[in-house]
Structure 1
């Protein structure tokens, strides 16, 4: 029996840990600056807890926005709970990290996408296969200058 390293699942755990850390910081300190999140999740995941009318309205997946108004943010090792406003009607949600399909912070062009693929050997249950993470960092561009040419002779011993 040969052993392999399951990089796909390791990356998924690391990225979900990143989401947990970000949400813990938001819980402690609020959203800084222009940061906000678009979180898309599977509404039929067995551990998702949302109102029935939301499941009916968003069969399959739903995207929520955490930006101007949210409250009761609770973060655990398995997922997070938050109350969001839907047309002036506050609704509590519980979203396990395993149900998240995308996590995006457009203010800094950061996004995570969790992909699944059907596994025919396991009765079609989705398994985690790849993670696509993109981050655009603002790096000030320094003016280009001409290269300095240095003669190697100056480093040789006489």
Structure 2
């Protein structure tokens, strides 16, 4: 039986650890300066928790913004929960790290995009290391990003 190193899963785990570290710092110290996050996640993930009306409005994915007002940020090894304001209606969400599709901080043009096996099969390409997204601007609370392969930085 042939054994191989699963770089894709190792990279995903490292990227999720980075998100956890960032959220722990925000929980303890608040958002510094102009930092803010656009977090897109899969609302169909079995461990994602959100209000029924939000799940109906966003049946497959949802992008939330953590910027001016958020409350009750709790960070665990499996995910995070936060209360956000949706048109003067505070709602608590739980987002497992495995449900996160993109994590972007446009204030410093930093972003992560998690590729799934289904995405790789759809375009017929092999799974590379993950990609870093550089956020240009946001429309309708969803970032548009230029995606750069990590391979372009290797020597």
Q: How does 1:2-151 map to 2 (within 5 A)?
A: 2-118=2-118, 129=127, 131-134=130-133
Distance in 2, Cα, partners of 1:35 & 1:132? 21
CA distance in 2, matches of 1:111, 1:71: 23
Deviation at 1:104, TM superposition (A): 0.1
Give, in angstroms, the shift of residue 13 of structure 1. Answer: 0.1
Per the alignment, do residues 31 and 58 of structure 1 end up closer, same or farther by CA in structure 2, a change over 3 Å counting? same
Q: TM-score, normalised by structure 2?
A: 0.79
CA distance in 2, matches of 1:110, 1:9: 21
| Unpaired stretches in structure 2, ≥5 consecutive residues | 120-126, 136-155
Task: State how far apart, in whole Å, the 1-side matches of 2:44 and 2:66 are.
Answer: 21
CA RMSD of aligned residues (A): 1.6
Report the TM-score, using the length of structure 1 for normalisation.
0.77
The ranges of structure 1 where at least 4 consecutive aligned residues each deviate by more than 3 angstroms after the TM superposition are: none
Give the number of the structure whose alpha-carbon radius of gyration is greater.
Answer: 1
Q: What do the CA deviations read for 1:6-38 (whole angstroms, capped 9, x no partner)? A: 000000000000000000000000000000000
Structure 1 residue 2, shift from structure 2 partner: 1.2
CA distance in 1, matches of 2:116, 2:63: 17
Cα deviation for residue 134 of structure 1 reads 4.2
Deviations 1:93-144 (A, max 9, x none): 000000000000000000000011239xxxxxxxxx55212469xxxxxxxx
SS in 1 for 2:116: strand
